[in-house]
Amino acid sequence: MTDVRRRVSLCCVATSPLLADLRAALGDDAVLTDPDLLRMHERDEADLCASATPLVVVRPRTTEEVSAVVRAAARHGAPLVPQGARTGLAGAANSVADAVVLSTVAMDRILEIDPVSRIAVVQPGVVNATLAGAVRREGLYYPPDPGSWESSTIGGNVSTNAGGMCCVKYGVTTEYVLGLEVVLASGEVLRTGRRTAKGVAGYDLTRLFVGSEGTLGVVTEVTVALRPAPEESLTLVAVFDSTAEAGAAVAQIAAKGLAPSLLELLDRTHLRAIEAYRPMGLRTDAQALLLAAVDTGSRAADDLARIAEVCEAAGADEVYAASDAVEAAALLQARRMAHPAMERFAAEAYPGGNGGLIIDDVAVPRGSLAALLDGVARVAAECGVPIGVVGHAGDGNMHPNIVVDRADPASLERGRRAFDEIMRLGLELGGTCTGEHGVGLLKRDWLAREIGPVGVRVHQAIKAALDPEGLFNPGKVL
């Protein structure tokens, strides 16, 4: 764009009737058009997904302000993209051209913690770790713990139905969402669900909005269920010569009725990436490492010993327990570093730091985990791309991370082929195209294959009923 055209276009933006309406409703300080800030809000953490600079970023503080934003966007026919912390890994928070990005960062208040009903009520911009810490101080526990928990928001977690490491025992976000307040496309405010321990009134609209990735409405308040704080956990590490053996151990742990509070797998690529990123003494000669924890109180030592036996029987060449809580925390930290470590590994794998990651997210029945891991190794060899595997093995939920050279179209093409082959394999094994990251832009084709034409029609009917003008997060999910 020439300088003159840019000046004209910026001038039009500054005086647009939509911006005037937004400023009138929220005040100037909550309506942001600084070009650097707009660029910052263009996309989430997913590589290789389309995005465009928004027209404006707004930061409402209350439900009424969200309503006013939605009404203004609808009046002017502008798309509206809700954003939390933009840690998403499917492009679901990516802006489209001329969008109003509605950021929830200023809606960050914990409204209530009720230890008797064991619930908390929060605004959507509360960061997961802030809520977890606040309820911990009351002797309570909010289990969903995505790896991004120190930055991702409860609104984002709800809208992606986020998982995490504790989910193998405690379940994913949806298990903890009792009720929601949602601003609909009309600007009206819908309340779903309940505060009570039980309740079955009407359709389960709460679950409809959980995982809807900002396509059906803006979540403005969340009522979550809490649990009593768990017992201290004990942790072990099992080292394997093959990823498939580690996968077989996971199936056996489940078959024996054991209930670890954490069961994670890291393959050799990730072990090496983590050691290069921050040396921790991990066994980089291993093909796979399983990290398991139990929090069963007086039974914990016995349960850990039984998990160790299963791992040894499945072929582990070394099994050891963390000697104390400090070592256990360090092991957990190593697992949490998998993502940044792998990003660094990918960047350095190609000249000029051009390496990137296509992050996959596939879940299969636990009994098929070994077949999935073998299959991913086969896909890597056939497509000629490095693929590291990490994930929530206890849930059968793996993240094959495909390393590509962004500057080389042939490498990108091989990476995309590998991505598709892994999706195909996951579905063939009776799994799903996304265990926790969501559909976003990355997996729309695969969602359609997974749910079939009838499922697609029902999705479209729900979208049309709630958002007839296609205002919310266009192009995502379907």
Kindly list the residues in this chain that would bind ligand FAD in the complex (CB under 6 A): 44-45, 81-89, 92-93, 104, 124, 146-148, 152-153, 155-157, 159-160, 162-164, 213-214, 218-219, 339, 436-437, 473, 476
| 73 close to 98: Cβ distance less than 8 angstroms | no
Compare residues 104 and 233 and give the one whose CB is closer to ligand FAD. Answer: 104
- Which residues, including other chains, have CB under 8 Å from residue 251's CB and lie 6 or more apart? 366, 367, 369, 370
Compare residues 404 and 442 and give the one whose CB is closer to ligand FAD. Answer: 442
- Smallest gap from Cβ 301 to ligand FAD, in A, equals 28
- Smallest gap from Cβ 161 to ligand FAD, in A, equals 8
Backbone φ and ψ for 77, nearest 5 degrees, come out as: 65, 30
Compare residues 163 and 388 and give the one whose CB is closer to ligand FAD. Answer: 163
User: Looking at the chain, how many residues does it have?
Assistant: 478
Compare residues 124 and 355 and give the one whose CB is closer to ligand FAD. Answer: 124
- For 405, half-sphere exposure in the C-beta direction (CA atoms, 13 angstrom radius) is 11
- Smallest gap from Cβ 344 to ligand FAD, in A, equals 12
Tokens of 112: 């209530």
DSSP string of 264-318, one letter each residue: EEEEHHHHHHHHHHS-----TT-SEEEEEEE--GGGHHHHHHHHHHHHHHTT-SE
Tokens of 145: 């713990």
Of 225, 139, 149, which is closest to residue 180 (Cα–Cα)? 225
Amino acid identity for residue 258 in this structure: L
Of 177, 208, 219, which is closest to residue 194 (Cα–Cα)? 177
Backbone φ and ψ for 174, nearest 5 degrees, come out as: -55, -30
| Residue closest to ligand FAD, measured at CB | 156
